[in-house]
């Protein structure tokens, strides 16, 4: 009899929460460079999935496929199937601007706009026309700042510049900005690598709370972070997925020697 964890490793994710993103045989080319090779991975709804692997392994490339950020790179070509709730996001009827509202992104370096805290968060709802009036917009901004765990720290200075905040606060402001357009999925590309341990802990706590309502996919170089915050982990190496499984299983007894080598710090 297989344990549940083993069954997951063999048969794909636990579908208890349902699969929100399903990717099949995804290949990405940057010109002649075959950066991602036949990646198939299912992402469970309302869970945190972490993508780990050495630099250049394709994990960020994979992440950027999920909201078509790779479209902005001229030489980039994506093949394979990426289904969001069963709809091919590379299909002809998909509006990538709306897609990116639904699949938000937070980057490694906090990148608030050089605008006020309020305007940073209001930016998305404004361009997408989500608010009917000023009160509606105020509500959206405050709710997003609250969900991002930032409201207490900034409520007295909503109209000061977002760039004046500390690094950790800026990163949570970027998360609030992503939340304001009511996404289902939030992609995070090493969101804590520029933050100190306290700010990191706050973002990790936030991620843990956000998973109640959002699906989060995070690229991280910190194995401990992946272990702390994610329910599932995928290990990428040389443009392929080597192993996907429950985080607990992957960090206690990985199935593949390469995963073991990487997470234990033996990779030569």
Residues contributing to the site for other proteins (CB under 8 A):
1, 223-224, 227, 251-254, 257, 259-261, 263-268
Q: Which is nearer to other proteins, 52 or 188 (CB)?
A: 52
Instruction: Give me 16's structure tokens.
Output: 């208890």
The per-residue DSSP string of 78-115 comes to EEEEEEETTEETTSTT--HHHHHHHEEEE-SS----SS
Q: Which is nearer to other proteins, 117 or 226 (CB)?
A: 226
Instruction: Give me 228's structure tokens.
Output: 């702390």
- Minimum Å gap between C-beta 221 and other proteins is 14
Q: Which is nearer to other proteins, 218 or 227 (CB)?
A: 227
Q: Which is nearer to other proteins, 109 or 257 (CB)?
A: 257
- Minimum Å gap between C-beta 266 and other proteins is 5
d(CA 139, CA 136): 5
Q: Which is nearer to other proteins, 118 or 262 (CB)?
A: 262
Angle at 43 between CA 195 and CA 189, to 5 degrees: 20
Q: How far is CA 78 from the centre of its chain?
A: 19
- Minimum Å gap between C-beta 88 and other proteins is 36
- Minimum Å gap between C-beta 237 and other proteins is 15
- Minimum Å gap between C-beta 32 and other proteins is 31
H-helix or E-strand containing 8?
helix 4-11
């Amino acid at each position: 009899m297989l344990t549940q964890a083993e069954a997951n490793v063999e048969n794909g994710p636990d579908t208890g929460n349902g699969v929100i993103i399903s990717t099949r045989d995804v290949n990405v080319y940057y010109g002649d460079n075959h950066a991602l090779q036949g990646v198939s991975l299912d992402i469970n709804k309302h869970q945190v999935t972490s993508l780990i692997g050495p630099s250049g392994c394709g994990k960020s490339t994979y992440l950027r496929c999920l909201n078509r950020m790779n479209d902005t790179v001229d030489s980039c070509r994506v093949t394979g199937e990426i289904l969001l709730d069963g709809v091919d996001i590379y299909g002809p009827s998909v509006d990538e601007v709306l897609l990116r509202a639904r699949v938000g992104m937070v980057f490694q370096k906090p990148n608030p706009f050089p605008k006020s805290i309020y305007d940073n968060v209001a930016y998305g709802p404004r361009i997408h026309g989500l608010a009917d009036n000023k009160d509606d917009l105020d509500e959206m901004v405050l709710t997003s700042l609250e969900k991002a765990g930032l409201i207490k720290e900034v409520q007295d200075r909503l109209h000061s510049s977002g760039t004046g905040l500390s690094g950790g606060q800026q990163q949570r402001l970027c998360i609030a900005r992503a939340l304001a357009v009511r996404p289902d999925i939030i992609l995070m590309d090493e969101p804590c690598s520029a933050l100190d341990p306290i700010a990191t802990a706050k973002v990790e706590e936030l991620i843990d709370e956000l998973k109640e309502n959002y699906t989060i996919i995070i690229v991280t170089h910190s194995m401990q972070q992946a272990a702390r915050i994610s329910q599932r982990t995928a290990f990428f190496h040389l443009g392929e997925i080597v192993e996907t499984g429950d985080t607990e299983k992957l960090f206690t007894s990985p199935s593949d020697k390469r995963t073991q080598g990487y997470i234990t710090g033996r990779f030569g």
